[in-house]
Amino acid sequence: MRLFLAIKLDRPAEAQLARRLLELQRALGDTADALRWTPAANIHATLHFLGEIDVSRLEALREALGTRVAEPSFEMSLGGAGVFPASGAPRVVWLAVMKGAESVANIHREMGERLTRSRFAVEKRAFSPHVTVARIRDRESRRTKHLRERLAVVDAAPIAWIVECVTLFRSDLSGAVPRYEAAHEIRLSNSTDGSASRP
C-alpha cells in the first residue's frame, strides 16, 4: 500500500480552491497547458509521505499514530501561489499555508516522533507547510520560465477552514487520476469524536 499522512480541506474550502485553480489557469493562459493540475478534491497538505507499506503493518501503523494529537483544532488558510524550487526551472506549483502554519508544523513533528518510535521511516528533508496544486509536465521548462512572475499577480484571497483531524490516506495510482482512501483518522485534542476509517 502507498500511504501518506495529510490534512484535507473541508467541502466549502475545497469549492473555493476549485475556483482558485480556474483563476490560476486563466491567468496563465496557454502556459496552463504545460502543467498537470491536481483536482481540488485531491488537494491536501502532506505531513508525512510513508511510501509503500506492507498491508501486514497497517494495524501497527494505526497504533503508532494513535487516535489523538496534542494540538488543538485551529483555523488554517491558504494564500498566494509559488513554485518549487525557489530558483531555476519550476517543477511544482503550490499555495502557501498562511494562518495555521505553526500548528501544522507542530502536528508534523509530533506525528514524526510517533512514527520514528515505532520504526516507520520518515523523510529527513526540511518541512515546509504547503499544498501542491500542479506539476510542470516533462520537457515544458521553456514554456514555464516566467511562471513565478505570472502567478504573483493572481488574487490571493485566503481560503480558510477549521482543521479537526489528520488522515492517513492510501493512494491508488492505477487510474488516470489518483484515488485517495482514508485508512485511519487522528483527531485534534479538542475536536469532537469521529470514527476512524477502516478499509
User: Does some domain include residue 173?
Assistant: yes
Half-sphere exposure of 172 (CA within 13 A, CB side): 9
9 or 176: whose pLDDT is higher? 9
User: Does some domain include residue 21?
Assistant: yes
Helix (H, G, I), strand (E, B) or coil at 3: strand
pLDDT of residue 197: 36
Average pLDDT, the chain: 92
Residues 59 and 13: their CA atoms lie apart, in Å, by 31
User: Does some domain include residue 78?
Assistant: yes
pLDDT of residue 145: 85
- Count up the domains in the chain and report the number: 1
Q: Which domain holds residue 48?
A: 2-188
Please say whether the beta carbons of 29 and 151 come within 8 A: no
User: Does some domain include residue 84?
Assistant: yes
User: Does some domain include residue 193?
Assistant: no
The structure's pTM equals: 0.90
Query: What band does 112 get if pLDDT is binned at 50, 70 and 90?
Result: very high
User: Does some domain include residue 196?
Assistant: no
Query: What band does 198 get if pLDDT is binned at 50, 70 and 90?
Result: very low
Q: What DSSP element (H or E) covers 62?
A: helix 58-65
Please say whether the beta carbons of 4 and 49 come within 8 A: yes
Give the CATH number of the domain where residue 47 resides. Answer: 3.90.1140.10
User: Does some domain include residue 150?
Assistant: yes
User: Does some domain include residue 182?
Assistant: yes
Mean pLDDT of 68-78: 97
User: What residues contact residue 82 under an 8 Å CB cut-off, 6+ apart?
Assistant: 93, 94, 95, 96, 130, 148, 151
Interior CA angle at 87 toward 83 and 89, to 5°?
Answer: 75
pLDDT tens, residue by residue, 144-154: 988 998 898 88
